[in-house]
Structure 1
Amino acid sequence: MSNIGMIHEEQAANIGNFLVGRLLPFREKRSVGPFVFIDHMGPVYMKDYQNFDVAAHPHIGLSTLTYLFEGSIFHRDSIGSAVEIKPGAVNWMTAGKGVVHSERTPEYLRHTDKSLHGFQIWVGLPAELEDCEPSFHHTEAADIPSWQEGDISYKLIAGEAFGRKSPVPVHSSLFFLEIKSTTEQTINIGKHLFGEAAMYVLEGKVNIEGNDYGTKQLLIAQNATLCEFTLHANTSVYIFGGAPFEEPRFIYWNFVSTSRDKIETAKQNWQEQNLVAFPKVPGDDQEFVPLPQPKLG
């Protein structure tokens, strides 16, 4: 019996002036452990007159994780954070009861040719933390646990695995791993995983139970503790998951919650620009992304 429960192809999604590859959620699988949303951005190459601009928009009930392979994004939020994220670093923002942030090409790159490639991830919060105060934490690339075993390199971007712990301040039991190999290698990491697990093939190919899987494929394991696979040469994969929540999470636009009523309240507060619930973003408060309206017909 195969340990691959589902195979999902990355789906194109439009986030305004930018196309991304949506990995999660999809119809058959709404979450993997506490991970409720993953977009694969790029790689996109922009001319000197093109920029990545996501104006101020709100979140509740989740933490966002931004991880880049190429390029740079400047993050600002209503807490007062103003931080540039570069490849290998981690931006971790916990929305809690409500936060507003913007993401843009840094000013010094806005008139040059540039590239952007990375992950935008949402991690659900435990029910008892959904209304916590918002917070932001930036972890430099040098502080992410990294190690080498022969031709295989590992990074523990967030959570705990392999007896190591990332400094990213997560709120539940999870793991988010980068594994790369320069030569063909077979590894079994099942004893280091727990809960639910999924693998995304960024580059190259993996062989599992005699079958090859390539780029833009998301593989959901039936049993995380049976996670064995062969990496072809020059392959990069990302493995994520952890302990799932007992309660379902509802998602509407940028809002995640165990309560539909909280989402309705958040929608109303954003529509009315309630500055108590959703304060302005210092330094980037001239425009905002409006609440999506239901499609007619």
Structure 2
Amino acid sequence: MSNINLIIEERPSNIGNFMVGRLLPFREKRMVGPFAFIDHMGPTCLSDYENLDVPPHPHIGLSTLTYLFEGAIMHKDGLGNETEIKPGQVNWMTAGSGIVHSERTPGYLRTSNKMLHGLQIWVALPKALEEMDPEFFHFNEDEIPRWSENGIDFKLIAGDVFGHFSPVPVYSPLYFLELRTTKQQTVKIGKDLFGESALYILEGGIESEGHTFEPKQLLVAKDSKLCEFVMQENSIIYIFGGEPFAEERFIYWNFVASTRERIEEAKEQWLQQSFAPVPGETDFVPLPEQSRNIKN
């Protein structure tokens, strides 16, 4: 019997002036381990008059992970950080009790044609750390562990697994791996994973137990022991997961929390604009009016 429990197809979603492919949350699988949200951005060619502009917006109870394949994003936050995110770098912001940030096309690219392609990810915080002080970290590509084994190039973007440790400061047991190969290769790594696991195909494809899977599909395993599978030539996949939390997580807009009451507090905070503002920014994303219900 196949160990693949669920196949999730990317679903189009509008994040303002930009369309993305949403992978998590999904109605049949809200989270994979602590991973609560994943958007695939692009690949999109933006013309000289098109830019990514996500004005200041708040987060609580999570860490954001931005990982680009192409293009650049300027990150600004309420802690005063202003950092350009480039391909291969890891941008990690922990909201904790609350933080505001904006994401925009850098100034030097705003009047030229450009590509934008990457992943936006939310990792929920353990209940005991949901109200921790906000933090921000940024890592260059050469700081991220990488190695090759059996014809496959590995990169450990976050977490620890296989005796390798990413410098990204995560707050619960997890892993986020990139696997690349130019030739068809068999992958046997399931015995070393833990918690819940999922596999996302960015390019190429995989074959597992007589089935072929293609790009823009997220495969959720029944348990962390992913069965042996074959990566097709010129494939790029991501394997991620970790230990799930004992408590349910509620998601409303950009807020993640273990109680509905905390989300109601955050909504009121944003309505009152009591979060620390992003220096130099004057506009903001309003609290959604179309729904007052917390998703669960």
TM band (smaller chain): over 0.9
Q: Is 1:179 paired with 2:175?
A: no
Q: Deviations over 1:144-191 (max 9, x none)?
A: 001112431100000001110000011110000000110011111112
Q: Is 1:288 paired with 2:277?
A: no
Which residue identity lines up with residue 277 of structure 2 in the other structure? K
Which residue identity lines up with residue 288 of structure 2 in the other structure? P
**Shift of residue 197, structure 1, vs aligned partner:** 0.2
Which residue identity lines up with residue 279 of structure 2 in the other structure? P
**Shift of residue 295, structure 1, vs aligned partner:** 5.1
- Structure 2 counterpart of 1:257: 257
Q: Deviations over 1:178-209 (max 9, x none)?
A: 00110011111112210000000000110011
TM-score by length of 2: 0.97
Write the distance in 1 (CA, Å) between the matches of 2:227 and 2:33. Answer: 15
**Shift of residue 135, structure 1, vs aligned partner:** 0.5
**Shift of residue 47, structure 1, vs aligned partner:** 0.7
- Structure 2 counterpart of 1:279: 276
Percent identity, aligned pairs only, is: 61
Q: Deviations over 1:132-153 (max 9, x none)?
A: 1000000111100011124311
Contact 2:21 2:40 in 1 (8 A): yes
- Structure 2 counterpart of 1:122: 122
SS class of match (1:5): strand
Write the distance in 2 (CA, Å) between the matches of 1:226 and 1:168. Answer: 24
SS class of match (2:186): strand
- Structure 2 counterpart of 1:110: 110
TM-score by length of 1: 0.97
Which residue identity lines up with residue 133 of structure 2 in the other structure? E
Q: Deviations over 1:90-140 (max 9, x none)?
A: 010000000000000111111111000000000000000000100000011
Q: Deviations over 1:32-63 (max 9, x none)?
A: 00000000000000111111110000000000
Task: Give 1:6-45 correspondences, 5 Å limit.
Answer: 6-45=6-45
Write the distance in 2 (CA, Å) between the matches of 1:169 and 1:62. Answer: 13
SS class of match (1:224): coil
- Structure 2 counterpart of 1:204: 204
- Structure 1 counterpart of 2:132: 132
Write the distance in 2 (CA, Å) between the matches of 1:179 and 1:295. Answer: 39
Write the distance in 1 (CA, Å) between the matches of 2:227 and 2:169. Answer: 26
- Structure 1 counterpart of 2:228: 228
Write the distance in 2 (CA, Å) between the matches of 1:248 and 1:206. Answer: 32
Cα RMSD over matched residues? Answer: 1.0
